[in-house]
Chains A and B, each alone.
Chain A
Amino acid sequence: MTDHNRPSGDDQDTTHFGFTTVKTNEKEKLVRGVFDSVADRYDLMNDLMSAGIHRLWKRFTIELSAVRPGQTVLDIAGGTGDLSARFSKLVGAEGKVILADINASMLQVGRDKLLDAGAFGNLHMVQCDAQYLPFPDNSVDCITIAFGLRNVTDKALALRSMERILKPGGRLLILEFSKPTSPLLEKIYDTYSFRILPMMGRLVANDEESYRYLAESIRKHPDQETLMAMMEDAGFVDCQYHNMTGGIVAVHRGIKA
């Protein structure tokens, strides 16, 4: 058991699903249920929940990737394809972008959106589990996972899987909700997450529970330093992170040695 998110105790076959303790093998199904439920209105909700700032977080992540034409990029938990669309332009016709997600509903929404935006040719879609990435060793230049790692059952296993398929010198970028750096901001953020967010979920997506899970899963996710230590444990070097919007979100970067 290497997942830092897992509850301590005698029962080693359990993990967190938000604030609820569930059997490890059930989490995947429960997370899938959440994303099946929100897939159709995922982009709209992202814009509403973050007041559009998620676009800036993603843009900065893409800048940090320093992706060049001809490279291969894997966008794990790529959902509706925000990052993939941009990477598709950056890598050009000689490059390759793989949009991967464990959830078929999200992948389908992403595929439709990307096709509508005219992004195709160098874009491939794969439904897969981040813990067991179905790609050869040392085959990818850059991996991004934006707002996806906290939903993975065994994060350490997923990080090792990412490290395996990255080329030496390749980089991993993890964009994820994190811990606010100011106690005042943390209080405001808590009120927003547990009171306003589920209400917005109910009004816009008619799904209060899924958005309550999103808020809870953010609190159970490792903080900045813990996640950086996990990346180092998985074999990444030169690890660093940048806090954004007061630490509500952080982007971690690690290089495969």
Chain B
Amino acid sequence: MQREHDPAVITAVTAALEASVNRALTLAPAASRELAEMADTVLAIECTAPVITVYITITPMGTLQVSSYSEAKSSTRVRGAFDDFLTLATADDPAATLINSDLEIVGNTAPLLALQQIVTHMDLDWEAPLVDVLGDVAGHQLAQLLRGTFSWGKDAGKSLRRQLSEFILEEGRLSPPAAELDAFYDDVQNLALRVDRLQSRLKRFAQKVAAR
């Protein structure tokens, strides 16, 4: 038999992933409704390093079914290394990341991007489970506190990224800005074209000289 990963190990990963995403979806009814509209879509995520294929099926209930084996036809199959998938999963602009990454895509990319958007922009309602456990007053207060903390964390993260980027580009001059890089690439491309043209002229000139 072909050597393969222990299915029990992969199943543990898929089961944990499925349970955590679906748990989060129960707290995000809007995301769940959006997913339900994509029911029966199957996405195949084929990781080349390590070699694991995971199938994500969207159910009519707006939940995800994550498995290591599926015979259903995949609407999208994405193949690549784990790092590329991680970059895509955390990207602010998944469409651009998908185009610029080394990921190989077969089929329709729209369901993949839609799923990524829904999952990353899930608005979790922390209040419902907290109120169930702690009651209306304490649950609401704690939910407010959590919301504030998460919101601060998100803003702080954004601000830190922006400041870090500014330091690398402006203060430290450790890396050129994107516009400067683009201009440099354009210059290199123009130079390459001009060299090609010059080479053609020289070739033509050499042929004329040889003919005389």
Interface residues of A (CB under 8 A from B): 53, 55-57, 59-60, 63-64, 66, 240-246, 249, 251
Cβ contacts under 8 Å, A249 to chain B: 8
Cβ contacts under 8 Å, B70 to chain A: 63, 66
- Distance between Cα atoms of A251 and B71 in the complex (Å): 17
Cβ contacts under 8 Å, A240 to chain B: 1
Closest to B71 in A: A66
- Distance between Cα atoms of A158 and B11 in the complex (Å): 29
B1-59 residues with Cβ-Cβ distance < 8 A to A are 1, 4, 6-8, 11-12, 15
Are A243 and B11 interface neighbours, CB within 8 A?
no
Cβ contacts under 8 Å, B1 to chain A: 240-241
**Contact residue among B4, B67, B71, B72 (Cβ-Cβ distance under 8 Å from A242):** B4
Closest to B12 in A: A56
CB distance from A7 to the nearest CB of B (A): 30
**Contact residue among B7, B69, B72 (Cβ-Cβ distance under 8 Å from A244):** B7
Cβ contacts under 8 Å, A63 to chain B: 11, 67-70
CB distance from B20 to the nearest CB of A (A): 15
Interface residues of B (CB under 8 A from A): 1, 4, 6-8, 11-12, 15, 67-72
Q: What are 14 A-B pairs at a CB distance below 8 A?
A: A53-B8, A59-B15, A60-B8, A60-B11, A60-B68, A60-B69, A63-B11, A63-B68, A66-B69, A66-B71, A240-B1, A245-B6, A246-B6, A251-B7
| Beyond A56-B8, A63-B69, 19 additional pairs, beta carbon < 8 A | A53-B8, A55-B15, A56-B15, A57-B8, A59-B11, A60-B8, A60-B11, A60-B69, A63-B68, A64-B69, A66-B71, A240-B1, A241-B1, A242-B4, A242-B7, A243-B6, A244-B6, A245-B6, A249-B8
- Distance between Cα atoms of A241 and B4 in the complex (Å): 12
- Distance between Cα atoms of A242 and B4 in the complex (Å): 9
Cβ contacts under 8 Å, B6 to chain A: 243-246
CB distance from B19 to the nearest CB of A (A): 11
- Distance between Cα atoms of A182 and B35 in the complex (Å): 44
Cβ contacts under 8 Å, A243 to chain B: 6
- Distance between Cα atoms of A243 and B68 in the complex (Å): 15
Cβ contacts under 8 Å, A251 to chain B: 7
CB distance from A53 to the nearest CB of B (A): 6
